[in-house]
Amino acid sequence: MKLLITGGAGFIGSNFVHYWVNKYPDDEIVVLDKLTYAGNLANLETVKDRIGFIKGDICDANIVETAMAGVDTVVHFAAESHVDRSILGPEEFVRTNVLGTQILLDAAKKHKIKRFHHISTDEVFGQISLDSKEKWTENSPYNPRSPYSASKAASDHLVRSYYHTFNLPITISNCANNIGPFMFPEKLIPLAITNLLEGKKIPIYKPGNQVREWLYMEDHCSGIEVILKKGKVGETYFIGPNNPEVSNLDIIRKLLVLMKLGDDMIEFVGDRPGHDQKYALDHSKITRELGWQPKFALDESLNLMVDWYTKNQDWWKNVKNGEYKKYYDQQYGRRK
**Residue 329 included in any domain:** no
CA 17 → CA 27, 28, 30, 218, 255, distances in Å? 11, 11, 9, 11, 28
Q: What pLDDT, in 10s, does the model give residues 257-306?
A: 999 999 999 999 987 777 888 999 999 999 999 999 999 999 999 999 99
CA 222 → CA 228, 240, 286, distances in Å? 10, 11, 11
**Residue 80 included in any domain:** yes
**Residue 37 included in any domain:** yes
Average pLDDT over residues 88-102: 91
Q: What pLDDT, on the 0 to 100 scale, is given for residue 329?
A: 53
**Residue 11 included in any domain:** yes
- Check which CATH number belongs to the domain holding 115 and give it: 3.40.50.720
Question: What residues are labeled active site?
Answer: 122-123, 148
Q: What is the phi/psi pair of residue 233, to 5°?
A: -55, 135
**Residue 151 included in any domain:** yes
Domain count of the chain?
1
Q: What pLDDT, on the 0 to 100 scale, is given for residue 325?
A: 47
Domain that holds residue 32: 2-179+213-239
Q: What pLDDT, on the 0 to 100 scale, is given for residue 328?
A: 40
Q: What pLDDT, in 10s, does the model give residues 37-71?
A: 788 899 999 999 999 999 999 999 999 999 999 99
Chain-wide mean pLDDT for the chain? 92
**Residue 94 included in any domain:** yes
**Residue 316 included in any domain:** no
Contacts 24+ apart (CB under 8 A), 258-262: 258/302, 258/303, 258/306, 259/193, 259/196, 259/197, 259/306, 261/196
- Is the pTM above the cut of 0.95? no
The answer, yes or no, to whether residue 214 has pLDDT greater than 70, is yes
Higher pLDDT, 90 or 120: 120
Q: What pLDDT, on the 0 to 100 scale, is given for residue 273?
A: 78
The answer, yes or no, to whether residue 326 has pLDDT greater than 60, is no
Quick count: other Cβ atoms within 10 Å of Cβ 297?
14
- pLDDT band of 82, cuts 50, 70, 90: low
**Residue 61 included in any domain:** yes
- Determine the Cα–Cα distance for residues 49 and 46; give it in Å rounded to an integer: 8
- Determine the Cα–Cα distance for residues 180 and 217; give it in Å rounded to an integer: 5
- pLDDT band of 229, cuts 50, 70, 90: very high
